[in-house]
């Protein structure tokens, strides 16, 4: 059954198509800006005009959608840039929705405060008994405001990645109140405190200025807790779930697939991308084969769609093959 490519294709269990892939974009102020990210070859900070071009390229390749992150002009304690109606991602959404890509892509907007707070944490902070701590409940209001503002600017899906407790319910309530009852929530329900986010923090300029994210993101040793987090988010009204990271956590992706009958994505995060890129640069791995194998593995584990920085390149390869 493995003798020829046609035989192998006939019995192949897992498919991978451009439409399964979601491309993350990092939107920055300015015009004509296409600033390369050192630790992520092929990834850029894009100004709105450049991002529109990238969206059109993605649409042309049949990619499923985009996931938008923003680098605001200024940061403050209240993450104003996240929820301001003229915020950088809001501007990008309005421009993209007018472009030829609009009908072909699903526009997902990441909902988090870390790119917008002066301290780089995903919620607001306060002085606690043992030093600073993230202030869960006041953060919910800002996150919900952010989600509503992004949905009103044109996001088809809002994707909270902050890991505050209760944020899905808070976001749902405000979306419904603000006339966005039809906007689904893709919750990063299972998100681990991972070293593999390192390169992203260069791309999104979102490294915490002190401490780390272990008081709100999950401990990498916990699988049962991931299931509980997903259950809670679904109970609060999440429509889809996102698993993150992917490769070091494929067992969690599989466990979630078997347990929950909701659409599920997995995020091949920045560190997964960067380490493959580093190996490609050294000629240690075959670029096309390793890239596609890493993506098929995530699909095989049970993900319906994959957020990946390889989206454009992988889609090009897949189109050449078919």
Which residues are the active-site residues?
A: 191, 244
Nearest distance from C-beta of residue 110 to ligand PBG, angstroms: 5
Binding segment (CB under 6 A) for ligand PBG, from list 71-79, 92-100, 110-118, 232-240: 110-118
Tokens of 300: 């095989």
Nearer to ligand PBG, 112 or 230 (CB): 112
- Indicate whether 122 belongs to the interface with ligand PBG (CB under 6 A): yes
161 near ligand PBG, rule: CB under 6 A: yes
266 binds ligand PBG (CB under 6 A): no
Write out the binding residues for ligand PBG, residues 30-69 only, by CB under 6 A. Answer: none
> Is the separation of the CB atoms in 277 and 255 below 8 Å?
no
Give kind and range of the element (H or E) at residue 81.
Answer: helix 80-83
# chain residues binding ligand PBG, by CB under 6 A: 11
Which residue, 112 or 226, has its beta carbon nearer to ligand PBG?
112
Neighbours of 178 (CB within 10 A): 16
By C-beta, is 52 or 134 nearer to ligand PBG?
134
In 98-246, where does DSSP find H-type helix? 136-153, 167-177, 198-203, 224-235
308 binds ligand PBG (CB under 6 A): no
Q: Kindly report the CA angle at 229 between 87 and 69, in degrees rounded to 5?
A: 20
Q: Does 110 bind ligand PBG (CB under 6 A)?
A: yes
Query: Percent helix, strand and coil across the chain, each rounded to 5?
Result: 45, 20, 40
CA atoms within 13 A on the CB side of 231: 8
- Choose one: 54-62, 95-103, 106-114, 234-242; the region binding ligand PBG (CB under 6 A): 106-114
Confirm or reject binding of residue 197 to ligand PBG (CB under 6 A).
yes
Pairwise CA distance, residues 34 & 41, whole Å:
13
**Residue ranges in contact with ligand PBG by CB under 6 A:** 110, 112, 114, 122, 161-162, 197, 200, 213, 269-270
């Amino acid at each position: 059954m493995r003798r020829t490519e046609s035989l192998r294709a006939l019995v192949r269990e897992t498919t991978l198509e451009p439409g399964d892939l979601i491309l993350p974009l990092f939107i920055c102020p300015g015009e004509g800006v296409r600033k390369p990210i050192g630790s992520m070859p092929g990834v850029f900070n894009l100004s709105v005009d450049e991002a529109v071009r990238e969206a059109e390229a993605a649409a042309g390749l049949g990619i499923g959608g985009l996931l938008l992150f923003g680098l605001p002009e200024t940061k403050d304690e209240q993450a104003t840039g996240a929820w301001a109606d003229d915020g950088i991602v809001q501007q990008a959404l309005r421009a993209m929705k007018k472009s030829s890509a609009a009908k072909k892509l699903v526009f997902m907007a990441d909902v988090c405060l870390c790119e917008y707070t002066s301290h780089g944490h995903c919620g607001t902070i306060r002085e606690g008994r043992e030093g600073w701590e993230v202030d869960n409940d006041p953060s919910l209001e800002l996150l919900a405001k952010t989600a509503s503002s992004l949905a009103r600017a044109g996001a088809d899906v809002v994707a909270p990645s902050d890991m505050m407790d209760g944020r899905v319910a808070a976001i749902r309530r405000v979306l419904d109140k603000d006339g966005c009852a039809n906007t689904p929530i893709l919750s990063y329900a299972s998100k681990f405190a991972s070293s593999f986010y390192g390169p992203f923090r260069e791309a999104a300029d979102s490294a915490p200025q002190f401490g780390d994210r272990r008081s709100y993101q999950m401990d990498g040793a916990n699988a049962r807790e991931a299931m509980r987090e997903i259950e809670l988010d679904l109970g609060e009204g999440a429509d889809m779930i996102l698993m993150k990271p992917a490769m070091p956590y494929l067992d969690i992706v599989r466990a979630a697939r078997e347990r929950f009958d909701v659409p599920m994505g997995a995020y091949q995060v920045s560190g997964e991308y960067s380490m493959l890129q580093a190996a490609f640069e050294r000629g240690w791995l075959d670029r096309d084969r390793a890239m596609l194998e890493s993506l098929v593995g995530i699909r095989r584990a049970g993900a319906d769609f994959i957020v990946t920085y390889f989206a454009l390149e992988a889609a090009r390869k897949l189109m050449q093959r078919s």
